[in-house]
Amino acid sequence: DAKTTQPTSMDCAEGRAANLPCNHSTISGNEYVYWYRQIHSQGPQYIIHGLKNNETNEMASLIITEDRKSSTLILPHATLRDTAVYYCIVRVANQAGTALIFGKGTTLSVSS
């Protein structure tokens, strides 16, 4: 079972920031938080990941609380093309490859 809890759906106006929450209260010290998104009928797209510190890249920012029990993915200026299902995944960091365990994610709808 997925080890994260996300809202089923969210709406956002185009041009505004989209803040997608994720609860991972049972996360272990050696687990990373990963975010992927999946636009309709396409493969999942990697967005960002982090361990303890906040992270930012060209797509998004990831804010992880100090206790690491929750995080927020921020799309600073949402566009219509950001409409997708967003998955928050926790994954152990080790040398061996490990499967991603997807939940049902959050369906983000961006409207004009």
Query: Is 92 a binder of another protein (CB under 8 A)?
Result: yes
Number of chain residues interacting with another protein (CB under 8 A):
29
- For the CB of residue 106, give the shortest distance to another protein in the complex, in Å: 11
Find the binding residues for another protein in span 51-80 (CB under 8 A). 51
- For the CB of residue 43, give the shortest distance to another protein in the complex, in Å: 4
- For the CB of residue 41, give the shortest distance to another protein in the complex, in Å: 8
Q: Measured in whole angstroms, how far is the alpha carbon of residue 84 from the centre of its chain? A: 11
Tokens 């510190």 belong to residue: 53
The dihedral over CA atoms of 44, 50, 55, 57, expressed in degrees to the nearest 10, equals -30
Round to whole Å and give the CA distance between 112 and 98: 39
Which residues 6+ apart lie within 8 Å of 66 measured at CB?
none
Round to whole Å and give the CA distance between 110 and 90: 26
- For the CB of residue 26, give the shortest distance to another protein in the complex, in Å: 18
Residues lying near another protein in the complex (CB under 8 A) are found at 2, 32, 34, 36, 41-46, 49, 51, 85, 87, 91-105
